[in-house]
Structure 1
């Protein structure tokens, strides 16, 4: 018999012990086959007691072989978020969070608007505030104390009802401070600034919800710009220049408009890079958006006042 007439096509497999880590070569070979475009080899286990004569009887037939095939799915789009889902993995949790934030924000804006209206339309109160500047200086320490507590004490702003009480006091103090500022403007200017702020806020909020741009990545840059704005404002205390004040108001409007878009995207979360707010941080989220709107109102009020 001619030995060259026989061509043996044998596949030797060994039992795989998953406990000892022998299966790791399957993952490496599957990844190489996926990335390199090569065909994936099958790795099976056959009984060690199989007789050699069965292979020689039909060398090209694999129907008689019994193999356990292990399929390893490799996905290039797998991320750590799929392995460790965040606190907003459920849609209902995110929806409840957004409803709480907008509810608190609406109440804050209504309270602030009511307080500012008293200072704008009550002539006796306007005259008293102008004649007694100490009232404004008395409000500032209390305002900053509560603001620091809400910003730095994470456990306290998550506790009910302490978080609601602090947020209510902060809103009242902010409304009083805005009222003391509004007395130096005409009622018409304040109304125009209120309408412009409402229009800008609505437009930017819709833009933040629809755009594919991720403004949460601008957090560091906006912090630097805010620091520059603060230094710029301190310098303007000693410099009386119309154009420098106009540039200051315009720069502040742009910065807090970007902050508003970023904070809205942080609240909505989803596909954005930085969306690591806790579901219990609805007070903090409402506070951020509220401060963006208030600062935006102040800078728009300056622009309107300087323009008129």
Structure 2
């Protein structure tokens, strides 16, 4: 047990009145020692050039962490492009600009195709209306069926020329001229076929065709299912449809069977509806296969042929039903 006089002096007493005892902060020669250093956020005090305070530990510089909730002033804020060289940043910008340009080109291509298709359908259904509602024209076609076969020959020849010459001409739009001739030929053929049916059946076929085309277009723009990979299946379906048509024509030439005629027409309408889905997705361009934006004539031609054939097959079904 020690007395009060033997207890160590306080810090103030040891600082201002040093004694000869071996107490802390007292040198052997009686010179007072400096007070113990206190922590200062300034890097110029108590920190060496390497950030050490004596040998006790390592402390960060005060400028690196100004306070909670703030980013260090000496450290960069990370971004999406951080760590990428300048060449990669340029490639990323080129990629996004290319994607934007390709999308705008595809949208312009789709608008051009549907504009041409609208003109074609207006011409076709105008000709069909003339052959349906004007009785002298209807009777003239029925009296001279050779005109129908002539229009079929022109339609087939122009169709083959357009398929072989899909690239647009720069000096003169010969493909558009051929497309106009083809539209008139197919319109005349559709009109001659419509003249053999009643007005009610023709109007019903037009309405059903319009509903089917609108539904298919909305479906193709909304669905994620890729029908462009089903080209082989559609080719097989087209061959089967041709064989069924030949067999049906032979059977119906001996005896007309209404249900057989309606069955063949229904199968044909379904097959060409699938072709319409396929060609529409080729036009959109976000699938496995796509049409080049330069082939707008071919895109309009494929959709136009599908829609007219759907109309003709539905016309056979509605005509047989009304009879």
Aligned residues of 2:248 and 2:261 also touching (Cα < 8 A): yes
1:220 aligns with 2:235: no
- Residue pairs, 1:1-308, within 5 angstroms: 90-155=102-167, 160-240=172-252, 241-270=257-286, 272-275=287-290, 277-308=291-322
Cα shift readout 1:179-237 (whole Å, capped 9, x = no counterpart): 11001101111011001100010001100110111111111100111011011111111
Kindly tell me the number of residue pairs found equivalent between the two proteins: 225
Distance in 1 of aligned mates of 2:156 and 2:168: 16
User: Cα RMSD over matched residues?
Assistant: 2.1
Cα shift readout 1:60-89 (whole Å, capped 9, x = no counterpart): xxxxxxxxxx99xxxxxxxxxx8xx89x96
Shift of residue 250 of structure 1? Answer: 1.4
- Asked which structure has the greater RCO (Cα within 8 Å, sep 6+), the reply is 1
Aligned residues of 2:209 and 2:314 also touching (Cα < 8 A): yes
Cα shift readout 1:122-150 (whole Å, capped 9, x = no counterpart): 10011111111111122222111100000
Shift of residue 154 of structure 1? Answer: 2.8
Task: Name the counterpart of 1:39.
Answer: none
Change over 3 Å in CA distance of 1:234–1:89 after alignment to 2: farther
Shift of residue 273 of structure 1? Answer: 1.0
Distance in 1 of aligned mates of 2:170 and 2:187: 23
Q: Which segments of 5 or more consecutive residues in structure 2 lack a partner in the other structure?
A: 1-82, 85-94
Aligned residues of 2:168 and 2:294 also touching (Cα < 8 A): no
Provide TM-score, normalisation by structure 2: 0.66
Aligned residues of 1:222 and 1:259 also touching (Cα < 8 A): yes
Q: Secondary structure at the match of 2:231?
A: helix
Shift of residue 153 of structure 1? Answer: 2.0
Aligned residues of 2:279 and 2:299 also touching (Cα < 8 A): yes
Distance in 2 of aligned mates of 1:158 and 1:221: 36
Worse-matched range after superposition: 232-241 or 198-207: 232-241
Q: Which segments of 5 or more consecutive residues in structure 1 lack a partner in the other structure?
A: 1-69, 72-81
Aligned residues of 1:158 and 1:281 also touching (Cα < 8 A): no
